[in-house]
Amino acid sequence: MLIRRAEPEDVASIAPLLRGSSLASVEEALADPDRLVLVAQAPDGDVVGWAKTHHWHHDDPPAPAGHYLGGVTVAESWRRQGIAVALTEHRMAWLEARTDVVWCVTNARNVASLALHAGLGFDEVTRGARFHTTTFDGGVGVLLCARLGLRAGTTAPVDTLAP
Ligand SMILES: CC(C)(COP(=O)(O)OP(=O)(O)OC[C@H]1O[C@@H](n2cnc3c(N)ncnc32)[C@H](O)[C@@H]1OP(=O)(O)O)[C@@H](O)C(=O)NCCC(=O)NCCS
């Protein structure tokens, strides 16, 4: 499994994996040097997962300004093989040069996402109906936070990865 930066040509492959995000928001993220968009590419070349970061420049209490993880999605037939962990570890490694702390919001019902992020060092900060512009099916989301720099050497910075 290759984890690499997404290119504009990948947008069509990311499209079937989009949940809350629009294609326009993926293109916007790709064009922003302050954000990272990654894809997971299977040996046959298929894109089977993607993820991005988002930088909020302003506080919107209780959600602070800062770098957030977002969008991580893995094609159903490729789940439980560590792909989301790889996509997240590479985003966290990239963010280590930019911040000491990384944020994430997820639906309180999303057991898989909560377990994924807990396993990567995220702690729950608070629950709420909305964090920045994100609202949640069922009405409740969870704001998560992880300190960076505590896992040095676990993952090569994505800038060293292809292409
Ligand atoms: C959440 C999601 C990205 C996980 O992708 P994945 O590649 O299957 O995750 P991984 O294989 O890296 O799993 C890592 C850990 O996350 C947890 N996890 C993943 N899927 C889980 C599930 N269905 N139920 C409970 N825990 C789960 C487990 O702790 C797992 O470790 P383990 O397999 O050793 O038990 C995937 O289920 C998905 O695309 N879901 C829909 C989109 C989504 O909800 N994204 C999260 C938005 S914040």
Instruction: Check pLDDT > 80 for residue 150.
Output: no
b/e for 67-88, b at 16 or more Cβ within 10 A?
A: bbbbbbbbbeebeeeebbebbb
Q: Which domains does the chain have, with CATH numbers?
A: 2-160 (3.40.630.30)
Instruction: Give the relative orientation of helices 83-95 and 111-119 as an angle to the nearest 10 degrees.
Output: 50
pLDDT in tens, 122-145: 999 999 999 999 999 999 999 999
Q: What's the mean pLDDT when you consider all of the chain?
A: 92
- Tell me the CA–centroid distance for residue 79 and ligand 1, in Å: 7
**Which of 48, 116, 155 most suits a substitution to test ligand 1, by most atoms within 8 Å of the C-beta?**
116
pLDDT of residue 20: 75
- Tell me the CA–centroid distance for residue 116 and ligand 1, in Å: 5
Q: Which two tokens stand for residue 104?
A: 């994430």
Q: Which two tokens stand for residue 74?
A: 């893995």
Confidence of residue 98 (pLDDT cuts 50, 70, 90): very high
Instruction: Check pLDDT > 70 for residue 64.
Output: yes
pLDDT of residue 13: 95
Residue 74 alpha carbon, nearest atom of ligand 1: 39
Confidence of residue 90 (pLDDT cuts 50, 70, 90): very high
- Tell me the CA–centroid distance for residue 70 and ligand 1, in Å: 14
pLDDT in tens, 32-50: 999 999 999 999 999 999 9
- Tell me the CA–centroid distance for residue 77 and ligand 1, in Å: 12
16 lines ligand 1 (CB under 6 A): no
